[in-house]
A = this chain, B = another copy of it.
Amino acid sequence: MQDRITDIGPPKYDEMWPDVIKDNYGKWLYHDILEPGVLLHVSETGTKLYTVRIPGTRLMTTDQAEEYCKIADEFCDGYFRFTTRNNIEFMVTDESKLEALKKALADKGNMPLGGTGAGVTNIVHTQGWVHCHTPAIDASGVVKAVMDDLFEYWGSHKLPAQVRISLACCLNMCGAVHCSDIAILGVHRKPPVIEHSHLDKMCEIPTTIAACPTAAIKPSKEEVDGEVYKSVTVNADRCMFCGNCYTMCPAMPLADADGDGIALWVGGKVSNTRSMPKFSKLAVPFIPNEPPRWPTTVKIIRQIVEAYAADANRYERVGEWAERIGWERFFEKTGLEFSHHHIDDYRFAATTWRNSTQFKW
């Protein structure tokens, strides 16, 4: 125990750099996207660096990771990187190596170039049914189905601007889902079912009560099979299915085959480019879970992307487009239905109402 190594932190970044990065660190002059998936960065030293981007599934085996290592060994002096959206980037300085690398990737079949510029890049996502305990949906499966459908936009630059799609499998939103061009969100719609016979054993009642943002949870005594237990009740009218009680107390699961599904959100962004960062807004309140390929979700996302592609100005993100044409037009052009659920009723609701006679017929 005394030799135990702790608190060393991660390896220092520069241990992971190929020479070209060391030599040109902070010296880059400009970049140019040569074709979908291929970036050129030119340094003030004259160095030209070619980056080739392929999709990462994020959820992968060590074998798959080893595949990437092998490519990196063969073409990139044993170095490669991952992007902030889980794509994989191989870098070479020599144009002839670039062609060889591209060919090698093409031969793999599952390593298509893309993810750059005005297209759809990888979907940032979370665990889903592969690991987490609170999901309302799967993650990797939905991502696969959606990306298969949008694949033409992965390897092309034909959208008005970049479209960033994210997925989170519950309201905890482990990702920037709240600020994405299109966000896929797992939602519960039934209040927790309560295991009265075990709640007091498994959970701290006061913490559980305090966890509820709407104060829907009250302490109670419940009889189960003749025995009386200290437990809690939920006022279903006040529950908005956030799952926060379940986070604090395993005796209150929310998951339900009929209750759970997908909500779609649109028009968020993170960059400070042109317009300020924006939250995503509700587009579709609910789509049932349809494993294995979630056809309705896939279809509606395409509907949104196509309406955007057809109508937006170049260099205009989804949210900028919706705001320019007005949300009444957004719903019209995407063919989506507007419902009571789209009208905010949470804390800042009043700031989202239309305080003007300005709108379109």
- Measured CB to CB, the residues of A under 8 A from B are 272, 276-277, 347-348, 350-351, 355-358
Contact = CB atoms under 8 A, between A and B. Distances in A.
Contact of A350 (B277, B348, B356): B348
A348 B357 CA distance: 23
Contacts of A356: 272, 276-277
A8 B355 CA distance: 35
13 contacts: A272-B356, A272-B357, A272-B358, A276-B355, A276-B356, A276-B358, A277-B355, A277-B356, A347-B347, A348-B348, A348-B350, A348-B351, A351-B351
Contacts of A351: 348, 351
A319 to B, nearest CB: 13
A345 to B, nearest CB: 15
The 5 closest A-B pairs by CB, nearest first: A276-B356, A272-B357, A272-B356, A351-B351, A272-B358
A357 B277 CA distance: 9
A358 B276 CA distance: 7
Copies of this protein in the complex: 2
Contacts of A272: 356-358
A358 B269 CA distance: 14
Contacts of A358: 272, 276
A8 B240 CA distance: 51
A73 to B, nearest CB: 40
Given A277-B355, A348-B350, A348-B351, 10 more contacts: A272-B356, A272-B357, A272-B358, A276-B355, A276-B356, A276-B358, A277-B356, A347-B347, A348-B348, A351-B351
Nearest to A352: B351
A355 B348 CA distance: 16
A254 to B, nearest CB: 27
Nearest to A279: B355
Contacts of A350: 348
Contacts of A277: 355-356
A344 to B, nearest CB: 12
A86 to B, nearest CB: 25
A355 B272 CA distance: 9
A276 B272 CA distance: 24
A272 B356 CA distance: 6
A118 to B, nearest CB: 22
A276 B323 CA distance: 14
A341 B313 CA distance: 41
A357 B350 CA distance: 26
A276 B326 CA distance: 13
A351 B352 CA distance: 11
A109 to B, nearest CB: 42
A360 to B, nearest CB: 13
Contacts of A347: 347
A352 to B, nearest CB: 10
A350 B358 CA distance: 25
Contacts of A348: 348, 350-351
A351 B356 CA distance: 19
A351 to B, nearest CB: 5
A351 B276 CA distance: 13
A71 B9 CA distance: 88
Contacts of A357: 272
Nearest to A273: B358
A277 B347 CA distance: 22
Nearest to A179: B355
